[in-house]
Structure 1
Amino acid sequence: MQRMKIVITIIANPKIFPLTKLRAKQLSEEFGSEPPRWLAKEIACELRLENELNTVRKAAATSSFKSMFDIIVQPMHGRRKKLLLTDMDSTIVKNETLDELANLTGFGKQISAITDRAMKGELDFKTALIERVKMLQGVPEQALHDTWAKIELMQGARELVSTMKANGATCILISGGFKFFTDRLSELLKFDRNFANTLLLENGILTGAINEPILDKNSKRSALFQLIKTYNLDQSETIAVGDGANDLPMILSAGMGVAFHAKPILEKKAPACIRFGDLTAVLYIQGYKKADFKNSNNS
């Protein structure tokens, strides 16, 4: 077994269970680490130690604190990333944009049920997307604008993108959803680029079709490797964030893959899982302190 320098990031949702000094000390003793280093009072700290990575990850998975905090274990070296790829729906925004759009058409329940099964990996994503978009045939373009007005940012989204960009990282929004929304979200949060599917319109009316080729889980993984080449990066310098089965290949291929309040199929396989924290957890994982955070409203 190869021993290495390891960092364990402990992240709390203070509304559920604050991370007190006592709990941080108990965790430090449980893992046999150095004393806690604080990233944010009652929210996040890190523990440093030298051990075998998988041994520590197994200990974290069975920790008595696992039901209260997000516990992420990784090598110390290279934790600060240079490329962020993140999903949009239920990740950067709270909504599922297609479901919101469907609620304006009378097909909300049918489309939401298909979305849920697709994100759990029970349905092929391409097939499910085509089936759902067909139901939108005849919907006026104004419904897209009305849907955009309902979109809510996930807590921590502004800080995540602004802080990483302020520290020289490239931030990419990539979604199996639609360019109508990713373009606007990308402009709002100052993403460097965005990728998504395009809904086809004719005379201001949705045709019920999308432009080929469809961006799916394999496209996300391919985009990751293309961006690594474009920006002359190492695979280890990347971090990917998502919530559903469609994000799995991208998350498993990134230097650090983060399942964010994710479906079980993704949570079981992702190297890091955020169940309690918001998107600022992705910054704490990289060693940023709360005092380092930027915000696109004031940065």
Structure 2
Amino acid sequence: MSFALVLSTAPTTPALTADLVAAAAAAAGLPADAARWLFPDVAAELPVAAAVDLAAVRAALGNAPIDANLVETDGRRKRLLVADMESTLIENEMLDDLAAEIGIGPQIAAITEKSMRGEVDFAQSVRERVALLTDLPLSIMETCAARIRVMPGAKSLIATMAAHGARCVIATGGFGYFAHPVADDLGCHEVHCNHLEVAADGTRLTGRLIDPIFDRAAKRHTLEGAAADLGLPLSATLAVGDGANDLDMLSVAGFGVAFRAKPIVSAAAKLALSHSDLTGLLFLQGYTASDITRD
């Protein structure tokens, strides 16, 4: 079994220098010239024969905004991507945005934060938050949808993996009203999400969700089901997310990546990106600058 020690940072603020690569190589017991640059100043990898001490590597990098991850190189390019949406494929948390628009931001945000940290059951928390939106006009939904900000690297991630034959799926506890347009914009193949109930007059929310709730277990089932449909082993899958409700799917994916995640998620995930944008997922798979379809 062979491994790659992958070093990456955000392309908008490239911070990976030859000296930092050399320091990481030394900490891993390798010569500096063993490194292969995937993207100048942004990502490099070091081939290693066995697991290395990541804590020592990260210590060698000091306070530099560099992610260091160890990945198996066999079957490295994944054929299925299952991604969370909010704070992952997009920068927004849409319930928080809706709440801020109508002046109940602190109430919603407090419940959201507890849910993302795993302190309360997701299904319970989402029902409580949606209840606070009773009679919300759909015009406000439209206003917030217009403010969605795609996460840096998201379009490159989806376009590059799709171009190399991967299926790309959104699995979100968020709402179809937002998730389907995001999927269309990014070029995702499927969406699995929750759905808000709309009043009979078609102008406002009822404050209820349409069952069943798409929760933590449903995310894992989505990944497992999509892999089975494609005839893929779970080792050929990649899952990415930031919150506690992503932990189950991250735990079974070939590459389970915590992206700018809550501490409970980063601690549990096999791989973590805290500084890189979403192109970091491509570098974990060994893609180089020339392979990447740019945003």
Q: Structure 2-normalised TM-score?
A: 0.94
Query: What is the match of residue 234 of structure 1?
Result: 233
Contact 2:2 2:73 in 1 (8 A): yes
* 1:187-198 → structure 2 map (5 Å cutoff): 187-198=184-195
Contact 2:23 2:60 in 1 (8 A): no
- Quick check: 1:64 aligned with 2:69? no
Describe the SS at the equivalent of 2:222.
helix
How many positions carry a matched residue from both structures? 290
User: Which letter does structure 2 place at the counterpart of 1:220?
Assistant: K
Give CA deviations for 1:247-282 in whole Å, capped at 9, x if unaligned.
000001100000000001101010111111111100
Describe the SS at the equivalent of 1:63.
helix
Give CA deviations for 1:173-220 in whole Å, capped at 9, x if unaligned.
110010011100011111000110000001121000001110000100
Contact 1:84 1:239 in 2 (8 A): yes
CA shift, 1:79, in A, is 1.1
Query: What is the match of residue 215 of structure 1?
Result: 214
Over 3 Å counting, the alpha-carbon distance change for 1:162 and 1:17 in structure 2 is: closer
Over 3 Å counting, the alpha-carbon distance change for 1:17 and 1:160 in structure 2 is: closer
Contact 2:138 2:204 in 1 (8 A): yes
Give CA deviations for 1:55-85 in whole Å, capped at 9, x if unaligned.
544654x532264210010111111100000
CA distance in 2, matches of 1:86, 1:156: 13
RMSD, aligned α-carbons: 1.5
CA distance in 1, matches of 2:78, 2:154: 17
Correspondent of 1:18 among 12, 15, 28: 15
Contact 2:27 2:60 in 1 (8 A): no
Query: What is the match of residue 294 of structure 1?
Result: 293
CA distance in 1, matches of 2:60, 2:151: 29
Query: What is the match of residue 86 of structure 1?
Result: 83
> Percent of aligned positions with the same letter in both sequences?
37
Over 3 Å counting, the alpha-carbon distance change for 1:190 and 1:40 in structure 2 is: same
User: Which letter does structure 1 place at the counterpart of 2:234?
Assistant: Q
CA distance in 2, matches of 1:16, 1:160: 18
Describe the SS at the equivalent of 1:64.
helix
User: Which letter does structure 2 place at the counterpart of 1:258?
Assistant: V
Query: What is the match of residue 258 of structure 2?
Result: 259
Contact 1:136 1:208 in 2 (8 A): yes
CA shift, 1:14, in A, is 6.4
Stretches of structure 2 lacking an aligned partner (at least 5 in a row) = none
Query: What is the match of residue 270 of structure 2?
Result: 271
CA distance in 1, matches of 2:162, 2:244: 27
Over 3 Å counting, the alpha-carbon distance change for 1:48 and 1:151 in structure 2 is: same
Query: What is the match of residue 123 of structure 1?
Result: 120
CA distance in 2, matches of 1:20, 1:37: 13
User: Which letter does structure 2 place at the counterpart of 1:65?
Assistant: L
Describe the SS at the equivalent of 2:205.
strand
CA shift, 1:20, in A, is 1.0
CA distance in 1, matches of 2:212, 2:56: 43
Stretches of structure 1 lacking an aligned partner (at least 5 in a row) = none
CA distance in 2, matches of 1:67, 1:266: 21
CA distance in 1, matches of 2:268, 2:63: 18
CA distance in 2, matches of 1:191, 1:29: 40
Contact 2:38 2:289 in 1 (8 A): yes
Contact 2:54 2:68 in 1 (8 A): no
Describe the SS at the equivalent of 1:257.
strand
User: Which letter does structure 2 place at the counterpart of 1:63?
Assistant: A
* 1:132-147 → structure 2 map (5 Å cutoff): 132-147=129-144
User: Which letter does structure 1 place at the counterpart of 2:163?
Assistant: A
User: Which letter does structure 2 place at the counterpart of 1:219?
Assistant: A
CA shift, 1:17, in A, is 6.8
Q: Structure 1-normalised TM-score?
A: 0.93
Contact 1:32 1:49 in 2 (8 A): no
Query: What is the match of residue 93 of structure 2?
Result: 96
Query: What is the match of residue 28 of structure 1?
Result: 25
CA distance in 2, matches of 1:169, 1:14: 23
CA distance in 2, matches of 1:15, 1:157: 13
